[in-house]
Amino acid sequence: MTVGIWLLGDQLNKNNSALSSCITAKKDTVILLIESLNLAPLTVYHAQKLTLIWSAMRHFAEDLRSEGWRVTYAINDDTEMVFQQWIKDNQIDELKLINSSDRGGALDFQQTVNNTNFTGKINYYHNDNFLWQKDDFEEWAKGRKKLILEDFYRLSRKKFNILLENEKTPVGGKWNLDQENRKPPKKNIITPPVLTFSPDQITTEVMQKVAKMSSNTYGNLNNFNWAVTRQDALKVLDHFIAHRLKEFGTYQDAMITNEEFMWHGLISPYINIGLLQPLEVIKAVENAYYNSEEIPLNSAEGFIRQVLGWREYMHGIYHHVNDDYGELNYFNHQRPLPEFFWNNSKTDMNCLKQVLKQTENTGYAHHIQRLMILSNYGLIAGISPQALKSWFHSAFIDAYDWVMQTNVLGMGQFADGGILASKPYASSANYVNKMSDYCKNCRYNYKERSTENACPFNYLYWDFLGRNEEKLRSQGRMNLVLKHLEKITPEEWQKMRQNSALHLNL
C-alpha cells in the first residue's frame, strides 16, 4: 500500500503530524511539493516572499530526500495535472493531508483532490503551525459573549504551563506587564545587530526565476537575506534571544528612521511556514528568562504574549467567524488604495514614506508600523478595508489569509464592528510623534490640524471621528475622545474638512 502526502509551502515542518505518522514506513510513502503561483490567491507578491517560500520548499525537499523520504518536487503552474499524475505514477492508495491554515487554501486543496476522482482513503492531520486547533478554540469560544484576548491568553499560559508558579499563578505576580513596556525611543539609541544570510546556490536560482516575474512582484529582490532553512531559522531565534529579547518589551512600539528591525524577533516568516514551531519559540524565551538574569520579565512575558496570546487568538478567531468576515466594512469605507502604497516616492508624509520604503526593501515592518502608520492611515482616510488587506497581503513577507483578515480587517480597520477589537485603532500625529522620530524630518507640522501645513494624520483623524460619531458612540469606549468634537469651532471644522478633501483629491 502506498501513502501519499501532499505538503503546501507553509507546511515545511519535518516533524509535522502527517510525516510523523509515516516515519516507520518511509519506503511506502511518497511526498509531493508543488512550486506554483496557482496555489496562491493573489497576482502580486513581494519578490522576497516568493523567494523565501520557493527556496525554503526546495531546501526542505532536499532535506527530506537526504533522510530517505521519496519526494516529488514539481515546478509547474498546472497543479491539478501534477497532482493527478503523481497519484497515477505512484498508485497511491491513501492520501494524508494537513489541515490548511487558510480557509480558501483548504477549499482549493479539497477541490483539486475532488477533481482527480481519487477513490482511496483521505486522512486529514492537525496543523502543527498552531498550538490551539480549531476545535479547541471553538470549545473555548462556546457560550462566551465576548472573545477577549486577555482571557484567552491567561488560559493559554495555564494550558501550556508557561511562566507559572505551581502551575497556576503568573511568575512575578502579574499576568500583564504592558505598563512597563512600549516606551518611546530614547535619543541616540543603539539598536542590536541583525543576523543575515547570503543567498546560496538554491536561493540564487530562485531569485533568478523571481527576477523574471516583475509583473507578479512588488519590492526589492536584491536585498534578500532571510533564512530559508530550519537550521538558519533556529539561528535567528537564538540571535534574537541573545541580542534583542532583553529590550524587546521596552521598545516594542518604538519606531526610528532607518531602523527596520529594532528589538523585534523577526520570526514570523519562519513560524508561519513551519520552519519554527510556536512551542519551541515560547519555551526558548521562557528558558532564557529562567536562566539569565539579563532578561527582564516584562520582555519575556511581552514576547510570549505575542506568540502564545495574539498569534493563536488571531488564528482561532479567523476560523471561528462567519464566512463573510472578509467582506465586512463597518464604516462603509470605499476609497481606493492611494498609489503611494506601491511607490513610497509618491508621498511626502515622512512616516508613511519611511515605513513603505522599508517594506519595499525587506518585506517587513514591525507591529506598530503596520498598525499605527499604515493601517491607521487607511482607516482615517476611509480606504476600502478589502483593498488595504489585499495590499498588505502583497507587500509582506509573512502575509497569509488567516493573519491578514484578523489583523488588517479586524484590528486595523475595525471592519467587523468590534468582534475583535473593543475600539478602532485610530490616532492623530500625536502618537506618531511620541513613538517615533519621523515627525522631526517631515514637511508637515504634527501639532497643526487646520493650517495649510497641518499634518494629514490630524485633520483626517478628526474628520474620521466627526463622520462616524454615531457609530463610534455606540462602541462606548470612544466617548471620552468624542467629547473633544464639541470643542471644535465651525470654522475649524470647515478648514479641517477642506484640508481632508484636498489631501484625498475629492
Pick from 412, 429, 439, 462 the residue near ligand FAD by CB under 6 A.
Answer: 412
State the cell numbers at 229: 532553512
- Residue 271's binding partner, choosing from ligand SF4, ligand FAD, none, with beta-carbon cut-off 5 to 8 A by kind? ligand FAD
For the CB of residue 327, give the shortest distance to ligand SF4 in the complex, in Å.
31
By 3-state DSSP, what share of the chain in percent is helix, strand and coil, each rounded to 5? 50, 10, 40
Q: Binding residues for ligand SF4, per CB under 6 A?
A: 349-351, 429, 432-433, 438-439, 442, 444, 446, 455-457
State in angstroms the smallest separation of the CB of 344 from ligand SF4: 13
β-strand pairing of 45-46 with 217-218:
parallel
User: Secondary structure of 336-402 in the HEC alphabet?
Assistant: CCCHHHCCHHHCCCHHHHHHHHHHHHHCCCCHHHHHHHHHHHHHHCCECHHHHHHHHHHHCCCCCHH
CA distances from 324 to 186, 321, 337, 374, 394 (A): 44, 8, 22, 24, 21
Q: How far is the CB of 366 from ligand SF4 (least distance, A)?
A: 17
- Binding of residue 411 to ligand FAD (CB under 6 A): yes
Binding window for ligand FAD (CB under 6 A); candidates: 33-41, 130-138, 154-162, 406-414: 406-414
Q: What span, in angstroms and rounded, lies between the C-alpha atoms of 294 and 246?
A: 7
* Cβ atoms 87, 60 nearer than 8 A: no
Min dist CB 399 to ligand FAD, Å, is: 4
Among 311, 319, 333, 353, binds ligand FAD (CB under 6 A): 311
CB atoms within 10 A of CB 81: 12
From residue 323, give the alpha-carbon distance in Å to each of 83, 103, 318, 331, 405: 28, 9, 9, 19, 11
Give yes or no for residue 408 binding ligand FAD (CB under 6 A). Answer: yes
435 binds, among ligand FAD, ligand SF4, none (CB under 5 to 8 A by kind): none
Residues 346-385 that bind ligand FAD (CB under 6 A): 366-367, 370-371, 375
Q: Which of residues 272-291 bind ligand FAD (CB under 6 A)?
A: 272
- Between CA 393 and CA 396 the distance in angstroms is 6
34 φ/ψ angles, rounded to the nearest 5 degrees:
-120, 120
Q: Which does 265 bind (CB under 5 to 8 A by kind): ligand FAD, ligand SF4, none?
A: ligand FAD
The stretch near ligand FAD (CB under 6 A) out of 76-84, 293-301, 304-312, 429-437 is: 304-312
Interface pick for ligand FAD out of 97, 271, 352, 415 (rule CB under 6 A): 271
Residues in contact with ligand FAD by CB under 6 A are: 264-268, 271-272, 306-307, 310-311, 314, 366-367, 370-371, 375, 392, 396, 398-399, 403-404, 407-408, 411-412
